Structure 1
Amino acid sequence: MSIRVLVADDHPLMRAALCQSVAGTMPDLTTVEAASFGDVEAVLKREPVIDTILLDLHMPGMNGLIGLALLRNEHPTIPIIVVSASEDAATIHRAMEYGAAGFVPKSAPITHIGDAIRAVLDGAVWLPSAGTPAHAQAPVADADMAARVAGLTPQQLRVLAGIAEGKLNKQIAYEMGVVETTVKAHVTVILRRLGVVSRTQAAIVASKLALAPVAETQAEAS
């Protein structure tokens, strides 16, 4: 039986390398490509079967963990393997908390991609190495926020993504094809679910979930 893998990364060379490595690791495997979160959603709408997703957290429109949570919410049966240049333990644990079935650092040997795909398709969790043990616990605050975000509906997650991007309610409403009062109602629920009291506080939470790309993080530290 053919296995279909959605390879989602905005860098063409990385996407091509992932597709090539995936195709070489397993027989009867085909790949579908996406360069943005919007592309991912379009593929999932038109493709009858996608068995797993290789997902970059920093694609356009992704908003980091918000996009991951949205995909898990809307497609709970498709295991997601995060493939990321961020490979610190905190990022790995947060990705797993928000619904990833596996995590492969971009610096890992290319054979790990095939290992991860086989593992998640067998119903297991795949982590990069013994250096990031599966039993290690994420901070309680992170686990609590992950549970709160998981309780949001797809529409509410889309509003939260808009908040993360600094958009006004009317901009979010236009993009979602709804009236502004609907967005305001979603914001009210989001504030309650996240345990914050203002849109500004929700924006702070959302910006943390969006994650900073590795290059930006390193630039700030230098």
Structure 2
Amino acid sequence: MGAHPADRSPLVTVRVLLVDDHAIVRNGLRAVLDTTPDCTVVGEAATGEAAVDLAAELVPDVVVMDLSMPGAGGVVATGHLRATVPTTRVLVLTTFSDDARVRAALAAGATGYVLKDADPDDVVRAVRAAARDEAPIDPRVARHLLTPGPPPSRSTQPGPVLPPREREVLVRLARGLSNKQIAHELGIAERTVKVHVGSVFRRIGVADRTSAALWARDHGW
């Protein structure tokens, strides 16, 4: 899978900190990212504690975080890291896709969630998206998160009434589409989609795309 031109920004280099207790995984990620023109690896850590300390020192744009490590795991480390260096985004890269781990990582402040068997190009795209403060979620994880549960688990609250255009935007956002893709489907400008997304967030009381998608699922959209 080739890189999409829109994912590249030749004027900006994404500074990345790699966190995984397996050196072979870190070496593989470094090999991929260091050969990507707009990404550079500025540090590596094998534990959650070391990750927090290094992030405070290096202030990377993105931390690629494993979940299962000795000592403080990735979820705990993500929470500490986001509190210590709020401008740094955390992209979880792990083998776990179960609902509880995904929700715990996102609740701790992770921006995105990608599985380790993803294509290298998809990992690079996720790093770039995280640096842009988007919420890259592996489609397999997103499908799992957004699979409707049994009726009793759904919210009984009707939620706010959204204008038709905002409803159209939210439905597509819940499908995992980017602003550019939504704009293409609806035939409107990407900046207009961005305005609608911000309005949707305010109306339903969420702060990010993942939470909005989960809200849509929980309200039967």
- Smaller-chain TM-score range? 0.5 to 0.7
- How far did residue 136 of structure 1 move? 3.0
1:13 is matched with which residue: 8, 24, 34? 24
Inter-CA distance 62–138: structure 2 relative to 1 (3 Å threshold): farther
Greater alpha carbon shift after TM alignment, 50-59 vs 90-99: 90-99
Deviation at residue 96 of structure 1 after TM alignment: 1.4
Q: Which residue of 2 aligns with 1:174?
A: none
The structural deviation recorded for 1:81 is 0.3
CA RMSD of aligned residues (A): 2.8
Higher relative contact order (CA 8 A, sep 6+): 1
2:139 maps to which residue?
129
Q: In the alignment, which residue of structure 1 is the partner of 2:116? A: 106
- What is the aligned residue count? 140
Cα shift at 1:28: 5.2
* Contact persistence 2:51–2:77 (CA under 8 A): no
Q: Distance in 2 between matches of 1:28 and 1:64?
A: 22
Could you state the TM-score of these two structures normalised by the residue count of structure 2? Answer: 0.55
Structure 2 vs 1, CA of residues 51 and 98 (structure 1 numbering), >3 Å: closer, same or farther?
A: same
Letter in 1 for 2:27: A
Amino acid across the alignment from 1:123: D
Query: How has the CA–CA distance of structure 1 residues 138 and 99 changed in structure 2, closer, same or farther, with 3 Å as cutoff?
Result: farther
CA contact (8 A) 1:83 1:105 kept: yes
CA distance in 1, matches of 2:86, 2:57: 17
TM-score (norm 1): 0.55
Counterpart check, 1:24 vs 2:35: yes
CA distance in 2, matches of 1:129, 1:81: 15
Distance 1:127 1:39, change over 3 A: same
Q: Distance in 1 between matches of 2:25 and 2:53?
A: 20
- How far did 1:131 drift? 5.6
**Percent same amino acid among aligned pairs?**
27
SS of the equivalent of 1:25 reads: coil
Change (3 A) 1:60 1:102: same
- Sort the Cα spacing of 1:37 and 1:88 in 2 relative to 1 into closer, same or farther, 3 A: same
Tell me the residue number matched to 2:13. Answer: 2
Q: Name the counterpart of 1:36.
A: 47
User: Does the 8 Å CA contact 1:22/1:113 hold for their aligned counterparts?
Assistant: no
Partner of 1:94: 104
What are the ranges of 5 or more consecutive residues in structure 2 without an aligned counterpart? 1-11, 154-221
In the alignment, the residues of structure 1 paired with residue 127 and residue 51 of structure 2 have an alpha-carbon distance, to the nearest angstrom, of 18
List gaps (5 residues or longer) in structure 1. 142-222
Equivalent residues in 2 for 1:184-203 (5 A)? none
Gap change, CA 1:134 and 1:115, over 3 Å in 2:
farther
Sort the Cα spacing of 1:135 and 1:86 in 2 relative to 1 into closer, same or farther, 3 A: closer
1:46 is aligned to 57
Deviation at 1:45, TM superposition (A): 3.4
Structure 1 residues 82 and 5, CA, compared in 2 at 3 Å: closer, same or farther? same
Q: What's the counterpart of residue 78 of structure 1?
A: 88
**How far, CA to CA, are the matches of 1:128 and 1:87 in structure 2?**
9
Q: CA deviation at 1:30?
A: 3.3
